[in-house]
Amino acid sequence: MREAPAGPDPEHDEDEHLGEDYALTAAFVEKVIDAADAGDGERLRDLLEDLHPADIADLMGFLTSEHRSVLVLWLSPHVLAEVLPELDDSIREQVLERLPSGALAEALQELDSDDAAAVVEEMEDDQRRAVLAAMPEQDRAAIESSLGYEEDTAGRLMQREVMAAPEFWSVGDTIDHLRAQGEDLPELFFDIYVVDPQYRPVGGVAVSRLLRSAREVKLSALMEPVNEIEVHQDQEEVAYIFEKYHLISAPVVDVGGRLVGQITVDDIVNIIQEENREDILRLAGVSDEGRDASVMGVVRSRIPWLIINLGTAVAASLVIGAFAEEIEALVALAILMPIVASIGGNAGVQAMTVAVRSLAARELSAANAVRIVRREVVVGFLNGAAIAVLLAAIAAVWFGMPMLSLVIGLAVTINLVAAALAGALIPMILERLDRDPAVASPVFVTWITDTVGFFTFLGLAGLILL
């Protein structure tokens, strides 16, 4: 624990709000909480003064909702505007509820249209109407048009502010235009899109390229092909295109092919992280609960999978029930059977995770599916044989029954081949059925490995041993 300074000392605070790992320090969060508890607005303002909006959003995540409400009152509309898009969904919802429509309308005007729309989207209907009504016509139209596109599409993601120029312009024309216009342009841009008379993109010029070219050079001589994004494309697909082709920005076109906006890579980084988070949580049977979820929120996010798991576990136990006589005859079977199921489950999860990830990265497709499944089965057999030898030896030492060792060795080998097949095929089948392989695969895979594990071990024991 770091020692807190004796008294308020803003100079010092500024240096210490971030730890070595660029996360907020516990000591700093503590100070903010103390100031909020004391209702000391001056001190709060001092503490927050030099924080980046992303750090303020981060700080909010570490506070309770009561402390958050105090904090929000001390943010200027300008800072608030930049903090809002950074907040986690659940926290943003809370914060929005407590802010008057006027202040919100003012704050949102400072944002690019995509960020403003992302905030408005989270509001309750009443508040949304009030906030939109309090905004200037042009800003309101931009937000409404953005909300007109479906969630998770390029249309939602794009900003409408974009820099376009006709082919016949020279570098000089473009620079003069940029210097004269100013206001309507995006705050930052990285490419200038060259458009034909129908406003369809025909190429792009990187800003740094424009800068180093002579004034008289025509844009048509500088431009390179661009990857057009269509407004209705899914954001996951957009992220894949950005990642694959290393894009910094891309033009968005409507169904008629006309330029209507642009998407920049900083939004894509967020999407990639969001998709990855979803995948990792789904594989564990958790829906995204957010860092600030209430106890009941967390319960709701996790219990569906537990109930499904209860179903598959009971189904697997029915298999055991069918062999009650064998277990009564030889209690060693009950002692060893969970080992067969457990290793099968782990091997299945390994194969399944590799398949789910390869599908997501588009590294696994019809073009190599057969090769991959064949490899998995061979690996399952080899790993199964290796584990079988070890496990048979352990069982021999433990129970001293050679035939029992043989049975458990055979069972574990068969179960690891089943695990390989299930782990590789189930995600591929779900993908083919247009389901998310990350959601349902784990249930099926462990159900199969449990069932096959119990059935082969107890069944072989019945045949060979008893």
Enumerate residues 358-397 that contact its own copies by CB under 8 A: 358, 361-368, 375-376, 378-379, 382-383, 386-387, 390-391, 394
Question: In this chain, which stretch among 132-140, 194-202, 311-319, 401-409 interacts with its own copies, using CB under 8 A?
Answer: 311-319
Residue 141 binds to its own copies (criterion: CB under 8 A): no
Enumerate residues 198-217 that contact its own copies by CB under 8 A: 206-214
Residue 330 to residues 182, 212, 389, 462, Cα–Cα distance (Å): 84, 83, 22, 10
CB 416 within 8 A of CB 344: yes
Residue 280 binds to its own copies (criterion: CB under 8 A): yes
First vs last Cα of the chain: how many Å apart? Answer: 64
Q: Which helix (H) or strand (E) holds 249?
A: strand 249-253
Long-range contacts of 330-339 (CB under 8 A, 24+ apart): 330/404, 330/461, 330/465, 330/466, 332/398, 332/399, 332/401, 332/404, 333/457, 333/458, 333/461, 336/395, 336/404, 336/408, 336/457, 337/453, 337/454, 337/457, 337/458, 339/391, 339/408, 339/412
User: Measured from the CB of residue 119, what is the shortest distance to its own copies in angstroms?
Assistant: 16
User: Measured from the CB of residue 320, what is the shortest distance to its own copies in angstroms?
Assistant: 5
CB 450 within 8 A of CB 314: no
User: Measured from the CB of residue 343, what is the shortest distance to its own copies in angstroms?
Assistant: 6
DSSP for residue 135: S
Question: In this chain, which stretch among 9-17, 67-75, 124-132, 188-196 interacts with its own copies, using CB under 8 A?
Answer: 188-196
Beta bridge partners of 203: 194
Residue 259 to residues 138, 141, 142, 198, 204, Cα–Cα distance (Å): 18, 17, 15, 9, 12
Residue 164 binds to its own copies (criterion: CB under 8 A): no
Question: In this chain, which stretch among 92-100, 126-134, 252-260, 290-298 interacts with its own copies, using CB under 8 A?
Answer: 290-298
* Closer to its own copies by Cβ: residue 38 or 315: 315
* Closer to its own copies by Cβ: residue 200 or 302: 302
Residue 228 binds to its own copies (criterion: CB under 8 A): no
- Would you tell me the crossing angle of helices 369-399 and 332-360 to the nearest 10 degrees? 160
User: Measured from the CB of residue 176, what is the shortest distance to its own copies in angstroms?
Assistant: 10
User: Measured from the CB of residue 143, what is the shortest distance to its own copies in angstroms?
Assistant: 20
* Closer to its own copies by Cβ: residue 145 or 309: 309
Pure H helices in 74-153: 77-83, 89-97, 101-108, 113-120, 125-133, 137-147
Alpha-carbon 71 to chain mean position: 28
Number of residues that bind its own copies (CB under 8 A): 123
Enumerate residues 250-269 that contact its own copies by CB under 8 A: 265-266, 268-269
Task: Select from 4, 25, 127, 134 the one that contacts its own copies (CB under 8 A).
Answer: 25
Task: Select from 4, 79, 334, 396 the one that contacts its own copies (CB under 8 A).
Answer: 334
Alpha-carbon 230 to chain mean position: 22
Beta bridge partners of 261: 252
Task: Select from 73, 335, 403, 463 the one that contacts its own copies (CB under 8 A).
Answer: 335
Residue 219 binds to its own copies (criterion: CB under 8 A): no
* Closer to its own copies by Cβ: residue 69 or 358: 358
Residue 245 binds to its own copies (criterion: CB under 8 A): yes
Residue 309 binds to its own copies (criterion: CB under 8 A): yes
Enumerate residues 109-138 that contact its own copies by CB under 8 A: none
Task: Select from 4, 16, 45, 61 the one that contacts its own copies (CB under 8 A).
Answer: 61
CB 421 within 8 A of CB 449: no
For residue 298, give both structure tokens. 């967390």
* Closer to its own copies by Cβ: residue 109 or 227: 227
